[in-house]
Structure 1
Amino acid sequence: MATGKKRIAAKSKVDRSVNYALSDALTLLKEVANANFDETVDVTVRLGVDPRKADQMVRGAVVLPHGLGKQVRVLVFAKGEKAQEAQQAGADFVGAEDLVEKIQGGWFEFDTAIATPDMMGLVGKIGRILGPRGLMPNPKVGTVTFDVGRAVNESKSGKVEYRVEKAGIVHAPVGKASFDAATLQDNIVSLMDALIKAKPATAKGTYLKKISVSSTMGPGIFVDVAGVQALVK
């Protein structure tokens, strides 16, 4: 009951008819994020694209300047010198066939997976397992690379992958409710900069249609799109 009352009280503070300035939206978000844990802050963006068309797919990754506020467990499929490079960079799990067997057995104690290109034949055997969970290495987001040291460092530093869904919507985490509003704003501006740069040449009309921010248990708060675009340099 208490949880229900909190949610009702939080929703009552948010005017769904208003597109808030980003700074005001984040101040309000922190005010209504009252769960008994440090909630994740997410951004939802509706794009003016048709994901059904291959040339209008929006996908990529960005390293947030202030990270995500959590430890990221990184797994690397590599052998030899590249395995050593991954270990030196701080990867949590490094291996090849042994890791494939563990994953086939139902083990998923990691948040992101990286692979060297020569390992993709092996990794492909578990593509149907990793793919639905968003864990399949992909060259488009920099997780299939021989520069494994850099890939591990970026993942540990707060690298966020984004991909437009069928409805033309992108969801991405940008930090924790415990972050101050300015820190969250910096992360959001970096994400929006990446999304704008990823605009397909074939996309017509308005590209950024709607933006909202929310915490894990909090209501969505609409953000003024023009104001966000002005913040992106």
Structure 2
Amino acid sequence: MKKISKRLKKAKELILKQEYSAEESIELLKRTATTKFIESAEAHLCLNIDPKYADQQLRTTLVLPKGTGKTLRLAVLLSEDKIKSEYKEQADIVGSNDLIEKITKGEIDFDILISSPEMMPKLAKLGRILGPKGLMPSTKSGTVSENIEETIQEFKKGKVEYKADRTGIVHLNFGKTNFSNEDLLDNLLAVYKSIEQNKPSGVKGKYFKNFYICSSMGPSIQLNLTNLKD
């Protein structure tokens, strides 16, 4: 059995109730984030879905109102005739066939790849390179778009993709522990509302099983779902 560190043991001692309101849980999350670095704030939601069925799958995006707290490098792939100077000012990398060539050579110096639809057939051959890294553009993740400028702005503002894993659990970062309580709460409620609004059509009965948050190195804190619905 893995030994619990003194730091984590002390953090767990701060959790005195089984469930907390959203406001209380945010306050507690920040108190249990005791490492020397700035931790991520994580949300983990267990849903009453079975993703092996097409009508019970959940995969979509949302823009966190207060951002992610991360600086992401954006790359944009377009046909040569669609490249504009403003794209080069907004994104970190903008290219066409030259960018595809760099990716083929393993030169991947970006966190998100946005592509126009006409370039997707050319990217198909790079699935083995981009797929395992989670960088292959797709319509579901919002990274295949005709409106390049709007898409760049959305990701810079805090657009994130999430999906339920094969056990029906959604894992999602909703900020950093150095955010204000108010900003973390705004992001947390946005996560809850997005998952609620994108409820799969095949769900029968209760949708949410339980909802936990934690810092990336801290203990889990269970939220009172009734409180969230008010």
Please tell me the TM-score bracket, short chain as reference: over 0.9
> Structure 1 residue 95 and structure 2 residue 98: aligned?
no
Say what the alpha-carbon RMSD is for the aligned residues: 1.7
Q: Percent identity?
A: 37
Name the counterpart of 1:65: 65
Shift of 1:209: 1.1
Matched AA of 1:12: E
| C-alpha distance in structure 2 between counterparts of 1:96 and 1:158, whole Å | 25
Verify the 8 A CA contact 1:83 1:95 in the aligned structure 2.
yes
Shift of 1:61: 0.4
Verify the 8 A CA contact 2:77 2:119 in the aligned structure 1.
yes
Shift of 1:119: 0.5
> Structure 1 residue 195 and structure 2 residue 195: aligned?
yes
| C-alpha distance in structure 2 between counterparts of 1:165 and 1:128, whole Å | 21
Question: What are the superposed Cα offsets for residues 33-62 of structure 1, whole Å, 9 maximum, x if unpaired?
Answer: 011111111111111111001121111100
Verify the 8 A CA contact 1:48 1:203 in the aligned structure 2.
yes
Question: What are the superposed Cα offsets for residues 56-107 of structure 1, whole Å, 9 maximum, x if unpaired?
Answer: 1111100111101121111111123532166256111111232223223333
Matched AA of 1:197: Q
> Structure 1 residue 186 and structure 2 residue 181: aligned?
no
Verify the 8 A CA contact 2:174 2:187 in the aligned structure 1.
yes
Q: 1:14 to 1:146 in 2, by over 3 A?
A: same
Instruction: Point out 4+ residue stretches in structure 1 off by more than 4 angstroms.
Output: none
Question: What are the superposed Cα offsets for residues 182-219 of structure 1, whole Å, 9 maximum, x if unpaired?
Answer: 11110111111111111111111111111111111111
Name the counterpart of 1:146: 146
Instruction: Give the number of aligned pairs.
Output: 227
- The 5 A counterparts of 1:67-86 are 67-80=67-80, 82-84=82-84
Name the counterpart of 1:174: 174
> Structure 1 residue 206 and structure 2 residue 216: aligned?
no
Q: 1:82 to 1:157 in 2, by over 3 A?
A: farther
More divergent stretch after superposition (95-104 vs 18-27): 95-104
TM-score by length of 2: 0.92
Decide which structure has greater helix share: 1
Q: 1:85 to 1:136 in 2, by over 3 A?
A: farther
| C-alpha distance in structure 1 between counterparts of 2:86 and 2:137, whole Å | 15
More divergent stretch after superposition (77-86 vs 43-52): 77-86
Verify the 8 A CA contact 1:67 1:157 in the aligned structure 2.
yes
Matched AA of 1:130: L
More divergent stretch after superposition (165-174 vs 100-109): 100-109
- Structure 2 gap segments, 5+ residues each: none
| C-alpha distance in structure 2 between counterparts of 1:214 and 1:108, whole Å | 31
Q: 1:5 to 1:124 in 2, by over 3 A?
A: same
| C-alpha distance in structure 1 between counterparts of 2:154 and 2:89, whole Å | 10
Verify the 8 A CA contact 2:80 2:96 in the aligned structure 1.
no
Verify the 8 A CA contact 1:86 1:94 in the aligned structure 2.
no
Matched AA of 1:36: K
Question: What are the superposed Cα offsets for residues 117-171 of structure 1, whole Å, 9 maximum, x if unpaired?
Answer: 0000011111222222221111123211110101110111110101110010111
Verify the 8 A CA contact 1:85 1:148 in the aligned structure 2.
no
> Structure 1 residue 19 and structure 2 residue 48: aligned?
no
| C-alpha distance in structure 2 between counterparts of 1:37 and 1:160, whole Å | 23
Verify the 8 A CA contact 1:76 1:86 in the aligned structure 2.
no
Shift of 1:110: 1.5
- Structure 1 gap segments, 5+ residues each: none
Partner-residue secondary structure (3-state), 2:84? helix
